[in-house]
Structure 1
Amino acid sequence: MTVPESTYRVQLRPEFTFDDAAEIVGYLRDLGVGALYASPVLDATPGSTHGYDVVDPTRARPELGGEEARQALSARLKEAGLGLVVDIVPNHMSVEVPKANRWWWDVLKHGRDAGHAAFFDIDWDRGPLLLPVLGDDDAVAELTVEGDELVYYDHRFPIAPGTAGGTPQEVHERQHYRLVGWRRGNAELGYRRFFDITNLAAVRVEDPTVFAETHGEVLRWVADGDVTGLRVDHPDGLADPGGYFRRLRENAPNAWIVAEKILHPGEPLPQSWPVDGTTGYDALREIAGVFVDPAGEPGFTALATELGVKTGYHRVEAEARRLVTDRILVAEVRRIAALLPDVDPNAARAAVAETMIAFPVYRSYLPEGTAHWTAAIDGARRARPDLADALAALDAAVRGTPRGELATRIQQTSGMVVAKGTEDTTFYRYTRFAALNEVGGNPDRFGLGVEEFHRLAAEREAGHPAAMTTLTTHDTKRSEDTRARMAVLAEVPGEFADAVRRWTAKRGIDEPSLNLLAWQTLVSTWPIEPSRLRDYLDKAAKEAKLRTSWTDHDEAFEADVAAWPEDVMGDAELAADIEAFVRRIDGPGYVNSLGQKLVQLTAPGVPDVYQGTELWDFSLVDPDNRRPVDYAARRAVLARITAGELPDVDASGAAKLLVVHKALKLRQEHPALFRGYRPLRAEGAAADHVLAYTRSADLVVAVTRLPVGLAAGGGWRGTVLPLPDGVWTDVLTGRDATPDVATLFERYPVALLVRGDA
């Protein structure tokens, strides 16, 4: 199996093509990367900036350079000794531009008799396929006919054979689809979609024919040796994730396969999935969590309460999930409830909704893992005892036929409810301490202890040593360095609370949760361009759905939010106060950043470096984290480091690139050092400020944690790290190491030690 020692994630787009990726292969090789890890490369919606909106899975995306450029990139990678990991999207395809998706065009033109009708998850019993693209239903009056197409401004749709003639409206009434107002999509849609995005139609990859058609090209690349690994997007949306992965493994027996599966704390990866592990959000939660001081929780809870931010996490989460079932995924709930024919329709819908709201994880995988299904039913019963009969009928039907349509659809949809309700709503409402509000995160759990971290790392080494680990992805709510600086706030809760009170009195946002989120974000990304912060806060406000949303706008509130960044930064006195506070936390933030990065690069798993984050990167949620990367600057820093420079820990970020380069090179050249895992415990007054472990008998990793508290306590004060016998050398500095922690961390707050000439 071709498991890489590490990966480097790049976002391919029309502005960064296969050729552009080929240009950085030499840099990645010199950095120490094991494989290039690319965003989806199949043909996508014209102009797509991310590639997850695939329109044709049978060819490499022309806007990236097409097949010839793809082959050239593969050849360059092979020559450099790097693998290629490709992100694939089995759950859905884009239908935003119908003509760009020839399969969807076929379905619209020929209806349920189309050759590709079975490719999409469509409820044909509901009648003509509703397409919610009009401004409102009355806009059918604005349709025109051009040749054999119905036209609505920039939107074009096929006219079925033999249905032409008469007014455009008469032609429209004869089609296999109906164009309707966009607001009807949430309640009346007749096809399964990706979350609430009506432009992404779900694909039935559980059908062997559909699997073969949608995966044939990528699997050809795997067979040819051009692709060595596959990252599978959103498997929880599939009808049978286990069956899908088994079929994928049969067709790619030697590929490294990781699943974008978000595991809640304590949730195991399904044993029946023949994958190498997850894409690493569980590792992110653990690595970031061990750098958060649990002692900061009371102060942040008190501040949030004082400001009017809700602090009952599970209540906020339940409210947000209910919003999703009752207003956003109405069509999906109705479709599931209709599969309970002997239950009152209203009770059936309520029972389905309450069960999905109560899920303790994203979804269950019946008949495997019945405990999560049981927990969801029990939670629904507690929340709605009046639905006892309907819930009993639902439970009996699902357990009785765990692979039937009802069980399949409710499990597919529960993940949508959890993701939209928790990640995309709760995380923007429950803003007590935003560093914890991360994909796969657990915001009501304030930090992670060192001993628990050791236990979880050892479990990963034992169970999924080839799982991906990550700190930043295209989906994270903030980048690793933004999160690391934000983590420092947990060590200074009183100072931050006093600052927020001052700042809010001068320039507060008139919505408590967004106000608290905005100040945390500002100090964690300072200095940030006002336009970037404006766009982030606009997204945060709409995702929270409290004062405004993507569909129901409060224009005055949005205008106030849009003006806030420049108002704050234009207030000289306020800006100076903020800058002074940032100077207090940016140094400890660098310590956190270096510590969590070295841990991610050396702990069990296959570490991924997200594009550009080998230097400091203070990014926010997408699309902010997809900004262009200055590779020339990174090449220059790497050249100085390979020439022997030991950069200072400063705003340049060069010290981080040193850590990344040295750790990746060591993994690349001496992979045997990274086998096994054992905790190594410091001794002395400041022992709690050290996180250390061995990966083999000849490799030790040690990092600093909670640096503010360390300094406040008087420093290391004779703390030692008992190293096994032998001569140990710090790979980062080239210096001999000693057990004295103060000496060990004299140059950098982290150390990567090898014994003898290992």
Structure 2
Amino acid sequence: MASHTPTSVYRLQVGPGFTLTDAAATVDYLHRLGVGAAYLSPILTAAPGSTHGYDVVDPTEVSPPLGGEPARRELAATLSGHGMGLVVDIVPNHMSVAVPAANPWWWDVLRHGPQSPYARFFDIDFEAGPLLVPVLADDGDGGAAALAELSLDGEQLAYHEHRFPLAPGTRHSGDDADAVHQRQHYRLVSWRRGTAELNYRRFFDISDLAAVRVEDPEVFAATHAEILRWADAGELTGLRVDHPDGLTDPGGYVRRLRAAFDGWIVVEKILGAEEALPASWPVDGTTGYDALREVCGVFIDPAGEQPLTRLAAAMGTDPDFERVEADSRAEVAETTLVAEVRRIAALLPDIPAERARPAVAALLAVFPVYRSYLPEGMSWWQQAVCEASRRAPDYVDVLAAIDHRVHAEPAGDLARRIQQTSGMVVAKGTEDTAFYRHTRFIALNEVGGAPERFGLDVAGFHERAALREAAWPHSMTTLSTHDTKRSEDVRARLAVLSEIPEDFGAAVRRWTGRCGIEEPALNLLAWQTLVGVWPISEPRLRGYLEKAAKESGLRTSWTDPDPRFEEHVRSWPERVLDDADLSADVAAFVARIRDAGWSNALGQKLVQLTEPGIPDVYQGSELWELSLVDPDNRRPVDFTVREALLERLEHGWRPDVDVSGAAKLHVIRQALHLRASRPLTGYRPLTPVGPAAEHALAFARGERWEVVTIATRLPLGLAASGGWRDTAVPLPAGSGGWSDLLTGRALAPTQEYEPTLAFLGEVLDRYPVALLVRR
């Protein structure tokens, strides 16, 4: 392992309620847990009131609400004193422009237009006219009435709480606000026009986040100077790069970043099931969504696919994910991201817009991966062109013209814009739309997930893990992040449903008959969610369902709300939880699967912590953590409770697997300390033998295969089949006996250099997992 690579990382979500000073206060706990580096969400100055930091307004300073530079130095010193590193999340793709005065670069661009020294910093098409700023209210009049509400406030144009600068010399005595507005380098327009005709690139469909041109060396230097100063001071171990797919040239960006920073670099690249990170990128790997898909997938029973598919169809939802995904992506390309589609079509001036736009939309909707990195990813590009031609035969000639121009200029504007936008369409169409419409089995509907593939068999898991060890041994692995749709422990419990799909189907029919949601996809999602997170408060469940209903766009949406349906959804948690008999029925079902969920959770975690890659532990997830999509997964963490349990573990306590979650803390502590004490290199699949062999996942790591991980899978099926009986895992041969770091017990010795059989009925009698080390 390179000296700059942490042994593990622990993600901390800093914000106004948990500052850098608060983070420093957790360092001793993290050190005792065995963590190699603290891993922070963005800490540069963000938009006023930001709770997450991804809306940076000033990349030249540490956020004052987080404690500023003094707090950062304090944290860096505290980590160094404990022999730990610091990893920071950075956002090179975009900056917040929601409050123009908070962003000095954007403010200057609004004031001086193309003449601003910062005009080149943002991806703005000034040739299309004044910069469009979509902030005006619109009651169907295109924002006309809102224009009458503009006023002048000194050298600023005011619209309610919004303020915008005036270009020098554009306010004359006696002028009204509208006349002054017309002289500016920008135009305030209806918020609805942000979808249809922006002339600056944004982050996905968020008009308040303007894209930054870090491909320009001057812009790169200005946006990275502060973080590279920390690196030069020896106070930075690694960087997590947010959303590289939005950049003009991701490969060029990471090469420039690597030239300036020799630490650990991982990129938030969502890989398809058959996709690999471009080999030319000088980074250590991804942020781990590929590993998440594989680890969670191997704990899912493939036998549950057909019964759950039949249930989804019977409940009135479309169980065909590929069809739902195709429709969702097409809808996003034609509506939410139509401004981007029009901007690409404008690069085809010889093709009529009424033909260019549909062809571009059809192409963007069918990419098999988020982005084709040309010319390396030309095979993905060709697949997209062929599929678009099949689905949109009326535009084959336009698609052929686009294909010809991209081949001729793979680094040209047309190819670049399509590549930047395809990832937006995939993310919005798949993650934020299809995952809320296709609700057959939501444990699969995760960032980087592949719902059309019902889990992953053991052989497939071993193949992927060995490939990571060979190609990207320092890539991050993760199970929960600030972006996951649901936490690892929710997915672990939901995985149990794949073992009892018929029973779950009967329960859903029964519950729906008593208190269903009238939209079928949301109804099925709601019952799975309730089972996955039970017990949950009404406000948390209500907030989640409101977001899910709007994201799916089936009956309501963020831009076209249906008040009656939204009230129906808002009232559902109260109606369910106040129904004593219904609540008791749900609770009884959860009680039946709870222990199996805990088994899956411990199995997932131990596998993730010991497989190839650098493991990430998301804040708070060292105990059972049943969280949903943000903002639910950013709730405060009670470190006091965790420290108290950790202290007991340090005194030799080996907790039961119970509601406290201390068993998970125990597994994490032992695995992280093991990783910190020795390099876990290599990967060797181990093949269980015996009647329950399919219920065990095992592998060996280390220079002499001296560390072995064993995890239980499909625990309900295991119990139903009679348990482990004489099932065993043959351990690697070699001198010395074996002991389990979790129970402290030694395995019975065998002849030297002969394999020891780890009989699972004995090894896994206390915990559903084992972490064996050769003595």
Bin of the TM-score, shorter chain as denominator length? over 0.9
Residue in structure 2 matched with residue 175 of structure 1 by the alignment: 184
Aligned-residue CA RMSD in angstroms? 0.7
Deviation digits for residues 538-560 of structure 1, max 9, x if unmatched? 00000000000011101111111
The letter for the 2-side match of 1:101 is N
Residue in structure 1 matched with residue 370 of structure 2 by the alignment: 362
SS in 1 for 2:535: coil
Shift of 1:511: 0.3
CA distance, structure 1, for counterparts of residue 380 and residue 611 of structure 2: 29
SS in 1 for 2:54: coil
Deviates more, 1:338-347 or 1:591-600: 338-347
Deviates more, 1:331-340 or 1:587-596: 331-340
Residue in structure 2 matched with residue 675 of structure 1 by the alignment: 681
SS in 1 for 2:575: helix
The letter for the 2-side match of 1:656 is K
The letter for the 1-side match of 2:774 is R
SS in 2 for 1:608: strand
Residue in structure 1 matched with residue 774 of structure 2 by the alignment: 755
The letter for the 2-side match of 1:156 is R
CA distance, structure 1, for counterparts of residue 747 and residue 126 of structure 2: 70
CA distance, structure 2, for counterparts of residue 402 and residue 380 of structure 1: 19
Residue in structure 2 matched with residue 741 of structure 1 by the alignment: 760
SS in 2 for 1:262: coil
CA distance, structure 2, for counterparts of residue 389 and residue 449 of structure 1: 42
The letter for the 2-side match of 1:161 is P
Deviation digits for residues 265-301 of structure 1, max 9, x if unmatched? 1101011110000000000000000000000001100
Establish whether residue 382 from structure 1 lines up as the match of residue 386 from structure 2.
no
Shift of 1:54: 0.2
Establish whether residue 231 from structure 1 lines up as the match of residue 240 from structure 2.
yes
CA distance, structure 2, for counterparts of residue 295 and residue 716 of structure 1: 20
The letter for the 2-side match of 1:689 is H
SS in 1 for 2:728: coil
Deviation digits for residues 173-232 of structure 1, max 9, x if unmatched? 111111111111110111000000000000000000000000111011111111110000
Establish whether residue 728 from structure 1 lines up as the match of residue 755 from structure 2.
no
CA distance, structure 1, for counterparts of residue 182 and residue 247 of structure 2: 33
SS in 2 for 1:328: coil
Query: In the TM superposition, what are the counterparts of 1:203-282 in structure 2 within 5 Å?
Result: 203-253=212-262, 255-282=263-290
Shift of 1:740: 1.1
**Which of residues 158, 175, 179 in structure 1 aligns to 2:165?**
158
The runs of 4+ residues in structure 1 deviating greater than 6 Å are: none
CA distance, structure 2, for counterparts of residue 493 and residue 618 of structure 1: 21
Residue in structure 2 matched with residue 6 of structure 1 by the alignment: 8
CA distance, structure 2, for counterparts of residue 91 and residue 175 of structure 1: 27
**Which of residues 717, 725, 739 in structure 2 aligns to 1:717?**
725
Deviation digits for residues 539-583 of structure 1, max 9, x if unmatched? 000000000001110111111111111110100000000000000
Shift of 1:603: 0.2
Shift of 1:737: 2.7
Residue in structure 1 matched with residue 751 of structure 2 by the alignment: none
The letter for the 2-side match of 1:63 is P
CA distance, structure 1, for counterparts of residue 99 and residue 746 of structure 2: 61
CA distance, structure 2, for counterparts of residue 119 and residue 312 of structure 1: 43
Residue in structure 2 matched with residue 496 of structure 1 by the alignment: 504
Deviates more, 1:189-198 or 1:724-733: 724-733
Residue in structure 2 matched with residue 197 of structure 1 by the alignment: 206
Unaligned runs of 5+ in 2: 749-757
Q: How many residues align?
A: 753
Shift of 1:724: 2.9
Shift of 1:346: 1.5
Unaligned runs of 5+ in 1: none
Residue in structure 2 matched with residue 400 of structure 1 by the alignment: 408
Residue in structure 2 matched with residue 29 of structure 1 by the alignment: 31
CA distance, structure 2, for counterparts of residue 121 and residue 102 of structure 1: 16
Residue in structure 2 matched with residue 284 of structure 1 by the alignment: 292
1:547–1:557 CA contact under 8 A, matched in 2: yes
Residue in structure 2 matched with residue 67 of structure 1 by the alignment: 69
Residue in structure 2 matched with residue 645 of structure 1 by the alignment: 653
SS in 2 for 1:550: coil
Shift of 1:314: 1.1
The letter for the 2-side match of 1:727 is G
CA distance, structure 1, for counterparts of residue 644 and residue 396 of structure 2: 66
CA distance, structure 1, for counterparts of residue 550 and residue 684 of structure 2: 45
Query: In the TM superposition, what are the counterparts of 1:478-489 in structure 2 within 5 Å?
Result: 478-489=486-497
Query: In the TM superposition, what are the counterparts of 1:687-702 in structure 2 within 5 Å?
Result: 687-696=693-702, 697-702=705-710
**Which of residues 452, 458, 461 in structure 1 aligns to 2:460?**
452
Shift of 1:49: 0.4
Deviation digits for residues 370-402 of structure 1, max 9, x if unmatched? 100000000000001111110111000111000
Shift of 1:484: 0.3
Residue in structure 2 matched with residue 81 of structure 1 by the alignment: 83
Query: In the TM superposition, what are the counterparts of 1:219-618 in structure 2 within 5 Å?
Result: 219-253=228-262, 255-618=263-626
CA distance, structure 2, for counterparts of residue 523 and residue 347 of structure 1: 48
Residue in structure 1 matched with residue 119 of structure 2 by the alignment: 117
Residue in structure 1 matched with residue 754 of structure 2 by the alignment: none
SS in 2 for 1:418: helix
CA distance, structure 2, for counterparts of residue 517 and residue 301 of structure 1: 14
The letter for the 2-side match of 1:499 is A
The letter for the 2-side match of 1:51 is G
The letter for the 2-side match of 1:751 is A
CA distance, structure 1, for counterparts of residue 160 and residue 107 of structure 2: 18
SS in 2 for 1:58: strand
Deviation digits for residues 121-148 of structure 1, max 9, x if unmatched? 0011111111110102220100111110
Establish whether residue 662 from structure 1 lines up as the match of residue 662 from structure 2.
no
The letter for the 2-side match of 1:388 is V
CA distance, structure 1, for counterparts of residue 21 and residue 29 of structure 2: 14
SS in 2 for 1:491: coil
SS in 1 for 2:274: coil
CA distance, structure 1, for counterparts of residue 280 and residue 230 of structure 2: 26
CA distance, structure 1, for counterparts of residue 401 and residue 723 of structure 2: 62
1:737–1:753 CA contact under 8 A, matched in 2: no
CA distance, structure 1, for counterparts of residue 397 and residue 26 of structure 2: 61
Deviates more, 1:735-744 or 1:634-643: 735-744
SS in 2 for 1:667: helix
Deviation digits for residues 581-604 of structure 1, max 9, x if unmatched? 000110000000000000000000
CA distance, structure 2, for counterparts of residue 184 and residue 351 of structure 1: 22
CA distance, structure 2, for counterparts of residue 497 and residue 388 of structure 1: 44
CA distance, structure 2, for counterparts of residue 698 and residue 229 of structure 1: 29
Deviation digits for residues 244-268 of structure 1, max 9, x if unmatched? 0000000002x10000000001101
The letter for the 2-side match of 1:216 is A
Shift of 1:29: 0.2
CA distance, structure 2, for counterparts of residue 328 and residue 575 of structure 1: 39
CA distance, structure 2, for counterparts of residue 58 and residue 403 of structure 1: 30
Deviates more, 1:738-747 or 1:38-47: 738-747
CA distance, structure 1, for counterparts of residue 554 and residue 114 of structure 2: 41
SS in 2 for 1:239: coil
The letter for the 2-side match of 1:153 is H
SS in 2 for 1:382: helix
1:729–1:754 CA contact under 8 A, matched in 2: yes
Deviation digits for residues 289-347 of structure 1, max 9, x if unmatched? 00000000011000000000101111111110111111111111011111112212121
